[in-house]
Amino acid sequence: METPQTHTITKLDSSVINRIAAGEIIIQPANALKELIENLIDAGSTSVDILVKDGGIKLLQITDNGHGIHKEDLQLLCERFATSKLAKFEDLESISTYGFRGEALASISHIARLSVVTKTKTSDLAYKAFYLGGKLVGQNFNTNAVAEPKPTAGTDGTQLTVEDLFYNMPSRLKSLKSKNDEYSKILDVVGRYAIHCQNVGFSCKKYGESHQALSTRPHMLLKERIRIVQGSAIANDLIDLESIKNKDHAKLVGLLSVEGAITSSDYMNKKKVEPVLFINHRLVSCGPLKRSILAAYYFFLPKGNHPFIYLSLEIEPRNVDVNIHPTKREVRFLNEDEIIEIVTDLVQLTLSSHDSARKIPTQT
């Protein structure tokens, strides 16, 4: 006869809790990369080189030329809820940086081997530090050695190396798509930021290959950045969005500015390209806005063809809910219907003025 169990509820070990929580934030290598890109933009970088091995599972290495991390901050770098960007809850309302939760590096260090080499302008030396499970550990991940950053030679900026992602989550590893699929998702994320970030030059390549899969320089024109990321067919048929005419009307609903470029009705393409949408410089998606803009194209594009859309909206920060789960890219903001209508009208106006300029021959 079975002995009746006295209790079945036990508290999970904190390392297990942290690993589960991290696995909810970082689902695939591209999620980790997005966090690291946002950090380096926050750090004022103008140039970043990304190296990827085995779809980012074996290695993701990101080298930036940003302001670097002070030696004193390296102890807490991967501690959960440790951030340099937010001090009190109210700051969330006016936050302009990408990060604020202090969760990304902590999460990554719970499900991968994370190391950093970093140098600030005021320091003569660079420092190298290794992290496991949210904690600074000894050099080369030696948990028996003294846990401290080691001085080394290096240039201004930060190099973050993520190795063996999900090494301690075998089921997640199995559920990942092929290395090539994961690599495409990484290139997609890099491409989106490369299109949006005018001041930052991006390069990305596979480990062991000499050619860059993608390479932009800072201050390239938008059209050139889109050409590099999306190809000439799209770049050649791009039109800039008209500026908002009725500005007061937009301001009233919290829409501060709209910029972007879209393909004209000349561009025919059977393959869907996910719109590149940034709101307050965050890469987001917004299902209702996307559907509304695509609907505007029905008048201009033959059935079965798809446009390319890049939009950068600025919305009154306190109207945008940024305190959502980091992997949920879907964004919420106030006066959604009104703002969607204004942006869709703008797309429609841009497309129709392009069309009529083309159809009415210029008088000589």
Rounded distance between C-alpha atoms, residue 162 and residue 166, angstroms: 10
Residue from 29, 68, 99, 191 in contact with Mg ion (CB under 5 A): 99
Are 180 and 55 contacting, i.e. CB atoms less than 8 angstroms apart?
yes
Place of tokens 């980091």: 326
> How many angstroms separate the CA atoms of 293 and 311, rounded?
11
Instruction: Quote the least distance from Cβ 13 to ligand ADP, whole Å.
Output: 22
Alpha helices in the chain, H assignment, sequence order: 14-25, 29-42, 104-111, 170-175, 179-196, 222-230, 232-236, 247-252, 287-297, 336-359
What does 105 interact with, of ligand ADP, Mg ion, none (CB < 5 to 8 A by kind)? Answer: ligand ADP
Q: How far is the CB of 245 from ligand ADP (least distance, A)?
A: 37
At closest approach, how far in Å is the CB of 149 from ligand ADP?
14
In the complex with Mg ion, which residue's Cβ is closer, 84 or 123? 84
Q: How are strands ordered across the β-sheet holding 238-240?
A: 238-240, 255-263, 309-315, 276-279, 282-283
For the bound state, the minimum distance from the C-beta of residue 105 to ligand ADP, rounded and expressed in Å, comes to 4
Q: Are strands 201-206 and 47-53 parallel, antiparallel or unpaired?
A: parallel
Nearer to Mg ion, 82 or 213 (CB): 82
Q: Which residues between 104 and 133 bind Mg ion (CB under 5 A)?
A: 104
Task: Choose the contact partner of 351 out of Mg ion, ligand ADP, none; CB within 5 to 8 A by kind.
Answer: none
Residue 62 interacting with Mg ion (CB under 5 A)? no
Given a contact cutoff of 8 angstroms between Cβ atoms, the answer to whether 338 and 313 are in contact is no
Work out whether 160 is an interface residue with Mg ion (CB under 5 A). no
Q: Which residues here bind ligand ADP, judged by CB under 6 A?
A: 35, 39-40, 43, 64, 66-69, 77, 83-85, 99-106, 158
Residues in contact with Mg ion by CB under 5 A are 39, 99, 104
